[in-house]
């Protein structure tokens, strides 16, 4: 092992055992510091860190005969068949033991923790790149779970257009109060619902037509490919191999472009949400009204259920006010999200 790599390994053990970083924290830290990962990728994954922290090779124990070939794959042998071989240790065995202990403890804690709840998980969107925000929790520290800060996260490393963190404590109440407003205005609610339905039908119709056009174009290109082949094989038509290959490549490229768009539209059509009955929406509006009249407060999961029913999407622009879309308000006109 190269000394540099050994340094990185030791550093990882150090960060986990002594600096109190989480596995995710270590992965982010190494990635941010541009330390090359052993897999050759530019970012470190949590699983890579975990594998390193559990690897006994670093305290000088390696095993030979751990696995055997089974066709194309390798399968692990029973542990008593492993043959230990000594290697040069690079991690202090005491730190190694501390790390194993901490890994065990954290695993036990994770099992006890309830899954975190986010009112708007999967519902917060970026109007610029069209991608949904992920959920995360900024931990306040041990035993201070109630001070943990739930957040929605946008991150360029994950393919988003920029880095941004939005506090759920700030945005959740704003969204909920807008939804309450929407539900308490029955006339507007119905109008919005009907408009959304109309818009969905119009979009679906447009996409179906586009799909037909694309499929016709596809057939035409396939035919063109077949004709080209015939022409090439026909001795009367003097088509050189270079010409033939050039034209074939052009046709294949065209087909690929068409297929990509066909796939995209099919996916969109398959993901069209089924509209709820307006009566169902009204029934939920009734519940919200009761809540406001001083009856029991709706629990976060009950609120979530209403948001899901309404198919709420929250768009948060870089500047200016957020807006909602759903079965109460049709989507705004904007550039196709997936056309980039």
- Region from 85-93, 158-166, 198-206, 266-274 binding Zn ion, contact rule CB under 5 A: 158-166
- Region from 78-86, 152-160, 218-226, 312-320 binding Zn ion, contact rule CB under 5 A: 152-160
d(Cα 19, Cα 13) in Å, to the nearest integer? 9
- Region from 137-145, 159-167, 229-237, 277-285 binding Zn ion, contact rule CB under 5 A: 159-167
Query: Which listed residue (161, 197, 309, 337) binds Zn ion by CB under 5 A?
Result: 161
Q: Least Å distance between CB 126 and Zn ion?
A: 3
Asked if 130 contacts 315 with a C-beta cutoff of 8 angstroms, the reply is no
Residue numbers 98-127 binding Zn ion by CB under 5 A = 126
Q: Least Å distance between CB 127 and Zn ion?
A: 8
Residue with smaller CB distance to Zn ion, 27 or 126: 126
- Region from 63-71, 155-163, 220-228, 240-248 binding Zn ion, contact rule CB under 5 A: 155-163
Residue with smaller CB distance to Zn ion, 125 or 328: 125
Residue with smaller CB distance to Zn ion, 161 or 217: 161
Asked if 224 contacts 177 with a C-beta cutoff of 8 angstroms, the reply is no
Q: Least Å distance between CB 166 and Zn ion?
A: 12
Beta-sheet pairing, 124-125 with 313-315: parallel
Asked if 162 contacts 147 with a C-beta cutoff of 8 angstroms, the reply is no
Q: What is the dihedral of CA 164, 168, 169, 172, to 10 degrees?
A: 120
Residue with smaller CB distance to Zn ion, 30 or 126: 126
d(Cα 267, Cα 309) in Å, to the nearest integer? 22
Q: Least Å distance between CB 323 and Zn ion?
A: 15
Residue numbers 290-329 binding Zn ion by CB under 5 A = none
Q: Least Å distance between CB 66 and Zn ion?
A: 45
Rounded to a whole number of angstroms, the distance between the first and last alpha carbons of the chain is 43
Q: Least Å distance between CB 337 and Zn ion?
A: 10
Residue 43 CB neighbours (<10 A):
15
Burial class (CB in 10 A: 0-12, 13-18, 19+), 130: middle
Q: Least Å distance between CB 314 and Zn ion?
A: 13
Burial pattern 295-306, b for ≥16 Cβ within 10 A else e, equals eeebeeeebbeb
- Region from 13-21, 46-54, 86-94, 157-165 binding Zn ion, contact rule CB under 5 A: 157-165
d(Cα 50, Cα 12) in Å, to the nearest integer? 10
Residue with smaller CB distance to Zn ion, 161 or 214: 161
Q: Least Å distance between CB 131 and Zn ion?
A: 6
Chain residue whose CB lies nearest Zn ion: 126
Selection from 322, 316, 265 nearest residue 131 by Cα: 316
Asked if 12 contacts 53 with a C-beta cutoff of 8 angstroms, the reply is yes
d(Cα 189, Cα 181) in Å, to the nearest integer? 10
128 binds Zn ion (CB under 5 A): yes
d(Cα 12, Cα 18) in Å, to the nearest integer? 10
Residue with smaller CB distance to Zn ion, 128 or 185: 128
Residues 225-264, mask of contacts with Zn ion (x by CB under 5 A):
----------------------------------------
- DSSP bridge partners of 324: 314
d(Cα 10, Cα 27) in Å, to the nearest integer? 14
Q: Which two tokens stand for residue 116?
A: 């975190």
Query: Which listed residue (35, 90, 129, 197) binds Zn ion by CB under 5 A?
Result: 129
Q: Least Å distance between CB 334 and Zn ion?
A: 13
Q: Where does this chain bind Zn ion (CB under 5 A)?
A: 126, 128-129, 160-161
């Amino acid at each position: 092992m190269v000394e540099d790599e050994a340094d990185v390994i030791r550093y990882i053990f150090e960060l986990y055992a002594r600096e109190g970083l989480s596995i995710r924290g270590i992965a982010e830290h190494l990635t941010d510091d541009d330390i090359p990962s052993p897999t050759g990728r530019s970012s470190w994954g949590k699983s890579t860190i975990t594998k390193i922290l559990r690897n006994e090779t670093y305290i000088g124990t390696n095993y030979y005969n751990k696995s055997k070939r089974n066709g194309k794959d390798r399968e692990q042998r029973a542990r008593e068949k492993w043959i230990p071989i000594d290697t040069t240790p690079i991690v202090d065995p005491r730190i190694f033991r501390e790390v194993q202990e901490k890994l065990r403890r954290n695993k036990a804690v994770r099992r006890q923790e309830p899954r975190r709840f986010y009112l708007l998980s999967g519902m917060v969107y970026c109007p610029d790149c069209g991608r949904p925000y992920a959920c995360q929790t900024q931990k306040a520290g041990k035993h201070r779970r109630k001070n943990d800060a739930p957040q929605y996260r946008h991150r360029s490393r994950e393919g988003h257009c920029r880095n941004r963190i939005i506090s759920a404590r700030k945005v959740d109440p704003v969204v909920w109060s807008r939804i309450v407003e929407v539900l308490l205005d029955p006339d507007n609610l119905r109008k919005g619902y009907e408009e959304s339905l109309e818009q969905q039908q119009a979009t679906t119709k447009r996409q179906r037509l586009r799909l037909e056009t694309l499929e016709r174009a596809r057939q035409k290109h396939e035919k063109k490919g077949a004709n080209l082949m015939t022409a090439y094989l026909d001795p009367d038509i003097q088509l050189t191999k270079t010409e033939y290959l050039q034209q074939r490549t052009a046709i294949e490229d065209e087909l690929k472009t068409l297929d990509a768009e066909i796939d995209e539209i099919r996916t969109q059509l398959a993901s069209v949400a089924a509209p709820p009955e307006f009566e169902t929406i009204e029934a939920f509006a009734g519940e919200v009204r009761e809540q406001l009249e001083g009856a029991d407060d709706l629990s976060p999961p009950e609120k979530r259920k209403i948001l899901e029913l309404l198919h709420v999407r929250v768009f948060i622009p870089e500047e200016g006010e957020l807006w909602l879309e759903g079965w109460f308000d049709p989507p705004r006109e904007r550039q196709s999200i997936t056309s980039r």
